[in-house]
A = this chain, B = another copy of it.
Amino acid sequence: MERTSPLLKQSMLPASIKQVRIHDTFWSPRQLGVIETVVPYQWDALNDNIPDAEPSHTIENFRLAAKEADGEYYGMVFQDSDLGKWLETVGFVLSVTQDPQLVQIADEVIDLLERAQQPDGYLNTYYTVKEPGKRWTNLRDNHELYCAGHLMEAAVSYYEATGKTKFLDIMSRYADYIAEVFGKEEGQKRGYDGHPEIELALVKLAHATGNKAYMELSKFFVDERGQQPHFFDLEAQERIEAGDLSRDKPNQKKRIYDYFQAHLPVRQQQTAEGHSVRAVYLYSAMADLAAEYSDEELMNACKELWRDTVHRKMYVTGGIGSSAYEERFTIPFDLPNDRAYTETCAAIGLMFWGHRMLQIEKDRQYADVIELALFNGVLSGISLDGKSYFYVNPLEVWPQAADFRNDMNSVKVTRQPWFGCACCPPNIARLLASLGQYIYSHQDDDQEIYVHQYIGSTLDATLSGKQVRLSQQTNYPWDGQVTIEVTSAEQIEFTVAVRIPSWCKQAEIRVNNVPANASNHENGYVKLRREWQTGDRIELNLDMPVEHIHAHPQLRANAGKVALQRGPVIYCLEEEDNGANLQDITIPSDARFHVQFAEHLLGGVSILTGIGTRSVYPSGDDQLLYTTQGFCRENVPLTAIPYFAWSNRSRGEMTVWMRQH
């Protein structure tokens, strides 16, 4: 589609996964883990071939819908989305690697999808197999459009990787049918899904197919959200009248729909509310549409929501959603460390949203949050061996209390094997497989290439029809040295805009060994414009001291405490290194930590060592619980490890925030 919107015209376009090859000591093994381990494992899971695991039944459900098997539907109402996420990941994998066998598997399952598709284009196994005739009767709870969205994202991913159109055609037929069912015309439903997802998927589908109707449909869903009379009330009333009381009671109090981000029309929403994954999926679509339609009002809502999220409701790790109940945002500054929910998927969704905001606004604040979430709240969700996962990423754990207390029962002290979960593992897989798209953007009108993230990689871009290659080398996040080399068949004038992360207070930039002014940045990006030619070399030196991070005084849980950050990495103390009762430890306000790369620890990480204090107390049984005597304190050595690497050794206590004395 043409980029007619003024906001879209001034936006950047992210470099596609195909344009970017990652070769990074930190990320490449993790991406490879997804390709070699997670994708095959997950395929076995979808086919119920994992011994001792709960059956997924996902593929079997599609066979049932295609009338190629006998039996009953099994699984969650949103089971189809698991195949969507897997196929989307497959597409990303095929964008960065060749794998004919994987293509064959994917093609076969896409054929199955086609056979499961109904003549009118409808494609949902739950309603085809289990509740035929009840399509679109419970948008609020049953994830019907959500599943469609994940399959659409998969179709786009697979098309972009392989150029094959069958899956895209299947999902276009489904989208065409959905566009008939939903709309403002007589006989159409003015509804939307309880779980946002299709909105951002339709934007992708519109771009992949060039069909603006899908963009319009996305806009319709976004604009209808939260309007009165409330669609969720109306459909609940219809269910009640039809005698279907499985989800509703006749005299049920009207729910406050903030859980679904449907409490207000989206343009009136100024604070991040409700289920945090749903929220950031919605806000991602809102940002997409703001750019597409040059919709300043929608963009302003996005900015307000972003501000509320990152300045009021985000953990220092980039995690969001502080309440296990409804997996939701709560009130400003309510960010307890031991009862953080901080679902891995929510941090990933925050990256999705920030990625879109960044393209429109060209402001490092978005890239900073993407980086923060990526290295901390997202990465903590997967074990170093790639085989187990956290849904919930607490910032403080006392295992014995977490085991015992019901008010902490969402906190797991060790990661769980992936097949026990349905959403976070595939979400991490698709994120890692598609990591390339977060590194660079280009703005063709101004002949600009933005470097957002420091990840060893090669970008092949085309500027005014000319091929340009940027090769980035770095040992990030363990040091701040980044080298970017240019390769170009001919000399060409353009801008390389490099991000100075907000955590970096002292940056040096050299171009071909000549210093550039690193403080001359525009929204955090230093713009290096010149006639570039092969062999030109940009060197960044981002100073990475160990920083003491203080929380806003309203953030009660962190009063008197600091967190340690070095570069983009948040650190934590673990019991394995520092003994139990980590809350007793204090560090001085001028504490200096020594940085040391521990090659053989936790897959190779920089650790921080320093001196703190601990109480001296006898270990007898009769000590008073309360005394008027303070306890003496003694110096103790401390070792902090990256937060993302916690819980990869022994089970034990962990804390991100440490008391300062």
Q: Which A residues are within 8 Å of any B CB, using their own CB? A: 307, 310-312, 314, 316, 323-326, 330-331, 334, 339, 398, 400-401, 404-408, 505, 547-557, 559-560, 563, 581, 583-584, 586, 589, 614-615, 617, 621-631, 659, 661
Contacts and interface: CB of A to CB of B under 8 A. Distances in A.
Given A560-B560, A625-B311, A324 B550 contact: no
A323 B406 contact: yes
Nearest to A556: B583
Given A560-B659, A627-B549, A404 B334 contact: yes
Most B CB within 10 A of own CB, among A551, A554, A621, A631: A554
Contacts of A549: 626-628
B617 A331 contact: no
A264 B257 CA distance: 49
B405 A323 contact: yes
Nearest to A659: B560
A552 B404 contact: no
Contacts of A324: 406-407
A404 B321 CA distance: 13
A356 B121 CA distance: 78
Nearest to A552: B625
19 contacts: A310-B625, A311-B622, A311-B623, A311-B624, A316-B626, A323-B404, A325-B406, A334-B398, A334-B400, A339-B407, A549-B628, A550-B628, A550-B629, A550-B630, A551-B625, A552-B623, A553-B584, A553-B615, A560-B659
A312 B400 CA distance: 15
Nearest to A339: B407
Most B CB within 10 A of own CB, among A334, A405, A548, A551: A405
A617 B311 CA distance: 14
A400 B310 CA distance: 20
A314 B624 CA distance: 11
A560 B561 CA distance: 10
Protomer copies: 2
Contact of A621 (B307, B330, B550, B614): B307
Given A325-B407, A404-B323, A407-B408, A560 B586 contact: yes
A621 B332 CA distance: 11
A525 B213 CA distance: 88
Contacts of A398: 334, 556
Most B CB within 10 A of own CB, among A323, A547, A628: A628
B400 A626 contact: no
B550 A400 contact: no
A431 B330 CA distance: 40
Contacts of A586: 560
Most B CB within 10 A of own CB, among A331, A559, A624: A559
B553 A617 contact: yes
Nearest to A323: B405
A628 B548 CA distance: 6
A581 B560 contact: no
Contacts of A621: 307, 311
Nearest to A316: B626
A87 B43 CA distance: 69
A408 B405 CA distance: 12
Contact of A584 (B556, B617, B622): B556
Given A556-B583, A559-B584, A405 B330 contact: yes
A125 B56 CA distance: 51
Contacts of A563: 626
Contact of A401 (B334, B626, B628, B629): B334
A513 to B, nearest CB: 31
Given A559-B584, A560-B586, A307 B552 contact: no
A559 B547 contact: no
Given A325-B406, A334-B398, A339-B407, 19 more contacts: A316-B626, A323-B404, A323-B407, A324-B406, A324-B407, A325-B407, A330-B401, A330-B405, A339-B405, A398-B556, A407-B407, A547-B628, A550-B629, A552-B626, A554-B581, A559-B583, A559-B584, A560-B659, A589-B630
Contacts of A408: 407
Contacts of A556: 398, 581, 583-584
Most B CB within 10 A of own CB, among A552, A624, A626, A661: A626
A334 B626 contact: no
Contacts of A405: 323, 325, 330, 334, 339
Contacts of A617: 552-553
A311 to B, nearest CB: 5
A406 B331 CA distance: 13
B330 A625 contact: no
A638 to B, nearest CB: 15
Given A405-B325, A583-B556, A583-B559, A550 B627 contact: yes
Nearest to A551: B626
A324 B589 CA distance: 37
A624 B552 contact: yes
A659 B627 CA distance: 16
Contacts of A623: 311, 552
A325 B403 CA distance: 13
A380 to B, nearest CB: 17
A553 B557 CA distance: 18
A405 B627 CA distance: 33
Contacts of A550: 626-631
Contacts of A631: 550, 553
Contacts of A404: 323, 330-331, 334
Contacts of A628: 505, 547-550
B560 A401 contact: no
